[in-house]
A and B are shown apart, each in its own frame.
Chain A
């Protein structure tokens, strides 16, 4: 079975725009807001949301990346994973509003690891979560503040986010697990 395209390139752009507006609305402007993308695809997403926020507000929004590999709860179960870069904006995250950005929210375990990683880096005023797709099936009490698209799925399905920066094209695909 071929994967169905549930978000086209235009949709991805519109969704990113809406998330940028939502973040600005909720934090009453971009002052004190830092976006941290979770590798791999959360990083370009965070960068795009930050760019959009900057063009609305007229000044740059700090953006970085947060690798959560060393904080995962499945170390030793899945073999070693390669590490990605953690890059925290120079001003640090103390007292800031940190918005974690990821592509797909699924079990919530990655976000749990990210919250622990944030905790070791500083003490933000608040931590929020923005995701492009929420596919459900949470295994932990975690929810997103800003959701691009709610996508009810079954566990047999797979959700793949493709972005221009990493895959050459913007799209979200819904397929079956064994086909992916």
Chain B
């Protein structure tokens, strides 16, 4: 695996290899020495054109646990404000020795462009490109679901996952539909009609506008953030109406089966798509997701960097 650009590129075997690798790497966190020497001497560059807390910190922690060096670039306060392009910024990072570029960009397709344009020889990991994909988020969600509902091994055959909210702007939803269905889960998207993307009928999932209908047989509910920063029009009448119809409160959580779990990729708008009571409740795996994110990203960095020369 030279690059990781899209969750849709992963077949079942590759996805399971990544999850199994992450499962073994997770045990490093419990040791006295929380570090492996595997990527000693390699350099990972975080190239972030868009704001991020979890993803950037998580990639940084993952790279450091594997003993790689980390260079972090954030667009704010850089020469991007002077008009420097993605290409020149990436060339700069590669000239400083980066073998992997972890890219987050506001333009959909930016990671693929960087990987396939021939500008650089480094590997590219997509850490979120516009409203397109966020493959490592889907991997950590699949890992978290597998850990809690499948005992930490095998695939997600037959699991029913409901993804609720701003599907239109959500790269998390897009990546999750691709990966979870590859692993055998059945995905239902729930959103107001204005927040369902055009062409969704070609996705491998069901779509409904009624949240309450899909609660009783869900094994997992994944709540999405309403991405007001990407909204240039009125997609719903008011925040209050949105949270009444599509928010997860304790009334709705009570209708879920006993074993069902609640996920949220963060950052949360508490009170909007999820109430604080549910977010801090026993079903919520939101903190687990963050912890698992580090293990999953260690697995991705290991796969990408260890095949770098071998596959050539």
Contacts and interface: CB of A to CB of B under 8 A. Distances in A.
B27 interface: yes
Contacts of B303: 80
A71 B39 CA distance: 9
Determine the main DSSP class of B at the interface with A: loop
Interface stretch (A1-9, A82-90, A95-103): A82-90
A121 interface: yes
B31 interface: yes
Interface stretch (B167-175, B249-257, B277-285, B304-312): B304-312
Given A82-B17, A121-B33, A76 B306 contact: yes
Interface in B1-46: 1, 17, 20-21, 24-25, 27, 31-33, 35-39
Nearest to B303: A80
B310 A70 contact: no
A81 B25 CA distance: 13
Nearest to A80: B306
A79 B306 contact: yes
Interface residues of A, number: 19
A120 B35 contact: yes
Main secondary structure of the interface of A (DSSP, over half): loop
B20 A78 contact: no
B302 interface: yes
Contacts of A80: 1, 302-303, 306-307, 310
Contacts of B17: 82
A82 B37 contact: no
B15 to A, nearest CB: 14
Interface string A121-134: 11000000000000
Given A71-B36, A121-B31, A79 B24 contact: no
A179 interface: no
Contacts of B66: 70
A86 B20 CA distance: 13
Given A76-B309, A77-B310, A121-B31, A83 B24 contact: yes
Interface hub of B31, B307, B310 (most chain A Cβ within 10 A): B310
B187 to A, nearest CB: 28
Contact of A75 (B21, B24, B38): B38
B16 to A, nearest CB: 10
15 contacts: A71-B37, A71-B38, A75-B38, A76-B307, A76-B309, A76-B310, A81-B306, A82-B17, A82-B20, A83-B21, A86-B24, A86-B27, A120-B31, A120-B33, A120-B35
Given A79-B307, A83-B24, 7 more contacts: A71-B36, A75-B306, A76-B306, A77-B309, A80-B310, A82-B21, A86-B27
Interface of B: 1, 17, 20-21, 24-25, 27, 31-33, 35-39, 66, 302-303, 305-311
Q: Which 7 A-B pairs have the closest CB atoms?
A: A79-B310, A83-B24, A80-B306, A120-B33, A70-B38, A70-B36, A76-B309
